[in-house]
Structure 1
Amino acid sequence: MMSPQRILYVASEIAPFLETSLVSDCVRKLPEAMQSRQIDVRIVVPKFGTINDRMNRLHEVLRLSGSIVSINDVDHSISVKVSTIPSTRLQVYFVDNDDLFGRRRSVFEDHHNNFFEDNDLRMIFFCTGVMETLKKLEWEADIVHCHDWITGLIPIFWKKLYQDHALFRKAKLVFTVYNNTFSHHFPCLAEKIEKVGIAQEDAVWLTPGGFRNIIQLAMHYSDLVLRGEALDAVEFEDLFKDKELPWVQNDDQYNEEYFEMYKRLLSHA
């Protein structure tokens, strides 16, 4: 079986920079284990406003910043910052925009615990920002492992929006689902991703714009779908009725099982 040489991890969060769910621990553990196998690893997460630049020693990477993402006829500039996880050789790239992320002192909800109405726009911006950052890095992955719903557009962007770019032709896409659900709906989500270049027949997966639609789209365009934990939220009812999602238990064999899974996935190329 082929072994991965380069793995990209895209996630909503990673410890120690942000820790609100199991995602942060999983994404902290896996990259270091893969790096110890001499695999070239990259990690990209959103730069939420709760992440303090000075305390976490973030600094902007000017050569990666400056791209513009146009969403719903509004331009948003991408700022890319980087930091290193303490006591490791792991660098983390943070995709930022002051209006959408940096100035907000919370993650997905305001100080009244209301889900941000533009979290769909933030998702589109972040996923596009990941793609544009990779283009500027000129870095080609073998495996792209996406964690949590905010990364849910990466698979379709990879295979439909950027498929003609040389960097995005060979990677296998893995998507891991967690219990980080929400009940909010984004009625214009399908229309918004049509405007960034996704065909209508693909965008229709996102109607009527709920959590389930985002997960279904990510599953459809991923090469492997996993669950990061036991899924008990009501939003998952009947979502996986056609098949039971694989689940790698978070135990002593966790990293080894993922490595073998990556190898099997590449062997099916």
Structure 2
Amino acid sequence: MNGKKILFVSSELVPYLPENEVSLMSYETPKMVNGNGGQIRIFMPRYGNINERRHQLHEVIRLSGMNLVINDMDMPLIIKVASIPKERIQVYFIDNDEYFKRKGTFLDKEGNLFPDNDQRAIFFAKGVVETVKKLNWNPDIIHVHGWLASLLPLYLRKLYADEPLFADSKIVTSVYKKSFEGELDQDMVKKIAFDGISQESISQLAEPNYNNLLKVAVDYSDAIILASEEIPEDLQNHISNLEKPVLPYVSLQEFEEAYANFYNTEVLK
């Protein structure tokens, strides 16, 4: 991995959110790359339940101040950064008061999905791309973790298809076990189509559930990592029918060599 640039985009990350499969692997994988001489950037949403004072987040004025258009609404993009203690790893946070100030990640106090999770996912994907463009940092690999980040491959391959910064970037999506029941907003397809992305290319999102979100993610990725032991059968079958490199599940204790080898021999070949 020496000298390779890898952009990690995740919906969850320890130590900023509680530990689960997504948040832990979103930390361990860049840590591994960093330790093997790779260059990394990590992006995640700045949820309202992240303690900014404790984790010493601060706004980066030169990266903030842009408005992103989401479903015909101008939404200000705020970029904050923090460093993971001991690791010398910097994390970029995508923020917006309307979408991320509330004290929750994906669910309200009653345990229901936030009704605007679809718009939050769109904002996050576009916010990451626009910020990386401002950084003028061209990644060799873009590695996506978590369903809220799952629109990034679609946006990179469709809306930003002509962006030279990402022309040679390979996209890897880690697929985890099903993490929410139900569906996002039924008008999600229309909101994505507002950005000039054809409805045909996202027809699966007519039913915007977990499996279909991940199907869209893997369809526009170059390689896939099965990051949980139990992947929904419907999603597993979809992946099996794709002619793309797939890394089967490996445990946390064994992942370092497997991931590094997959990056080098299957993704960057």
Query: Which category of TM-score, normalised to the shorter sequence, fits these structures?
Result: over 0.9
Show the counterpart of 2:70. Answer: 71
- CA drift of 1:208 comes to 2.3
Q: 2:113 is matched with which residue? A: 115
What secondary structure does 2:189 align onto? Answer: helix
- CA positional deviation for 1:229: 1.1
Is the 2:49–2:104 contact (alpha carbons within 8 Å) kept by the matching residues of 1?
Answer: yes
Aligned to 2:234: 238
Deviation for aligned residue 1:231 = 2.0
After superposition, the C-alpha distances for 1:64-113 in whole angstroms (9 at most, x for unaligned) are 111211111111111010000011110000000011002x0111111111
1:23 paired residue number? 22
Find the aligned partners of 1:250 and 1:32 in 2 and give their Cα distance: 16
Encode CA deviations 1:188-218: one digit per residue, 9 max, x unaligned: 1111001012123213231122222211111
Show structure 1 runs of 4+ deviating over 3 A: none
Structure 2 match to 1:44: 43
* Amino acid corresponding to residue 260 of structure 1 in structure 2: N
TM-fit CA distance, 1:251: 3.9
3-state SS, counterpart of residue 142 of structure 2: strand
Q: 1:127 aligns with which of 125, 138, 142?
A: 125
* AA at the equivalent of 2:108: D
Partners of 2:148 and 2:138 in 1: CA distance: 22
Counterpart residue type for residue 119 of structure 2: L
In 2, Cα distance between the equivalents of 1:227 and 1:266? 15
Where do 1:218-237 residues align within 5 Å?
Answer: 218-231=217-230, 236-237=232-233
- Deviation at residue 161 of structure 1 after TM alignment: 0.9
* 1:240 match: secondary structure: helix
- C-alpha deviations, 1:237-264, integer Å up to 9, x for none? 3222252953342244311211110012
SS of equivalent to 1:111: coil
Shift of 1:158: 0.9
Q: Report percent identity of matched pairs.
A: 37
Q: Distance in 2 between matches of 1:74 and 1:240?
A: 36
Contact 2:2 2:37 in 1 (8 A): no
How many residue pairs are counted as aligned between the two chains?
A: 263
Alignment partners' CA distance in 1, 2:99 and 2:77: 10
Q: Which moved more, 1:181-190 or 1:75-84?
A: 181-190
Say which SS state the counterpart of residue 219 (structure 1) adopts: helix
- Structure 2 residue runs of 5 or longer lacking an equivalent are none
Output the amino acid matched with 1:257: A
Q: Give 1:41 shift.
A: 0.4
Instruction: Give me the CA root mean square deviation.
Output: 1.7
